[in-house]
Chains A and B, each alone.
Chain A
Amino acid sequence: MHDHDHDEHRHDHDNHYSDMQARVKGLETLLTEKGLIDPAAIDAIVETYEKKVGPRNGARVVAKAWNDPEFEAWLKRDATAAIASLGYIGRQGEHMRAVFNTTDTHNLIVCTLCSCYPWSVLGLPPVWYKAPAYRSRAVIDPRSVLAEFGLVLPEEKKIRVWDSTAELRYLVIPERPEGTAGMNEAALADLVSRDAMIGTAVAGSPEALS
């Protein structure tokens, strides 16, 4: 029998890993025996988020915004529709907002209350995004958090932190790097990391890529 504790019960954090393996296996077995879940559906969900939905979606949104002023304007006006026009829809992307970095202001996204994150454009969140260190500090000391990612902003740069407390999901549109005039969208998208769309990085330079 695996260790199973409800709210008020004992907790054994030793042997944590194998404990969870047993616990989740038991849960899947139970739910399958009861006809409540289809293990093949679990496979399909995992495959979707391992292989199909990820930060390349968001990078294409950013690249298009950089190259197409009409799309940029649409993204500002109705990000959900603009992003859906590229085929990126669905769970944890139902209500999208795009926030644009400027020469004055750098945007940073967090969810202090859980781990709200725009799955449809960035995929599943990394562990650090869900962990207490980031969630606690992003709203009070973002400058130090950014420095831990190697991003040191000039002192005069304002930092705007967006705490995702409702069902709006935020995508940061980083500033377009210099030296990228004439680049096509596919090449531009390669400059856009997942972290740049959370706000813990800026877009890469074409020199760094080559």
Chain B
Amino acid sequence: MNGPHDLGGQMGFGPVSPEKGEPYFHAEWEKRALGITLSCGAFGAWTIDESRHARESIPPADYLAASYYEIWIRGVEMLLERHGFATREELLSGHKLRDGAAPKRVLRAEMVPAVLAKGGPCDRPVETAPLFVVGERVKTKNFNPATHTRLPRYARAKQGVVEAVQGSFVFPDDNAHGKGENPQWLYTVVFDGAEVWGEGADPSLTVSIDAWESYLEPL
């Protein structure tokens, strides 16, 4: 979706301003937000792709005004409601009002080290051979789905070169919407700055994305 998250090349946000001391957390609630989000992710009820899509679905004015952990909290609330773990009334009241869906697992403290160490690998075997080879010129597709995609707007309908075949990975555009993992080959595709940004682009710039096979067409 062409949501507020797709920021590459947008203007007007001002300079990058690193904070003094760069604390990991700025308030106690940010710590809890991180832990709640990871704990709820451990239910196994939704994928990382669905959770990214939930965050992208926050209305643009709110997304851009929110701190990052606020975005996470809004996203996780959306998912808890969608998957039947909590009702809107419960989210509003902050208390249990009825039973809801039961998760596959509840993350207990003693499970945390193993779960964090395992992570969530997304590589999956595919039966087909890669369609593109290293060094091949390709063009990214032009599409504007209302659903989740990981092809940023700035990199659509652009010519680039396949720099690496990175293996085969879960396809987020399907996986975010419960349509299965449907793994595809993933390629690192590099573009000249001028191809992406046109006149006035920094001549020393190249930009790469990691693109699933169905984002690409041969030239």
Which residue numbers of A lie inside 8 Å of B, CB to CB? 1-2, 4-8, 11, 13, 17, 20-21, 23-31, 33-38, 40-46, 48-50, 89-95, 97, 112-115, 120, 123-124, 126-128, 130-137, 139-143, 145, 148-149, 155-168
Contact = CB atoms under 8 A, between A and B. Distances in A.
Given A36-B40, A42-B32, A156 B204 contact: yes
Contacts of A23: 29, 73
A90 B114 CA distance: 9
Given A46-B35, A89-B117, A155-B204, A132 B10 contact: yes
Nearest to B115: A91
A36 to B, nearest CB: 6
19 contacts: A4-B88, A4-B91, A6-B81, A11-B61, A24-B29, A26-B94, A27-B36, A27-B77, A34-B96, A91-B116, A92-B119, A93-B119, A95-B169, A114-B55, A126-B19, A139-B154, A149-B18, A163-B208, A167-B170
A166 B188 CA distance: 10
Nearest to B81: A6
B8 A163 contact: yes
Contacts, number: 285
* Chain B interface main SS type: mixed
A161 B62 contact: no
A140 B107 contact: no
Contacts of B219: none
Contacts of B204: 143, 155-159
A124 B24 contact: yes
Contacts of B73: 20, 23-24, 27
Given A136-B11, A163-B207, A42 B35 contact: yes
B30 to A, nearest CB: 8
A49 B34 CA distance: 10
B90 interface: yes
Contacts of A132: 7, 10, 13, 64
Given A30-B94, A94-B119, A128-B17, A21 B202 contact: no
Given A42-B32, A46-B31, A114-B5, A159 B205 contact: yes
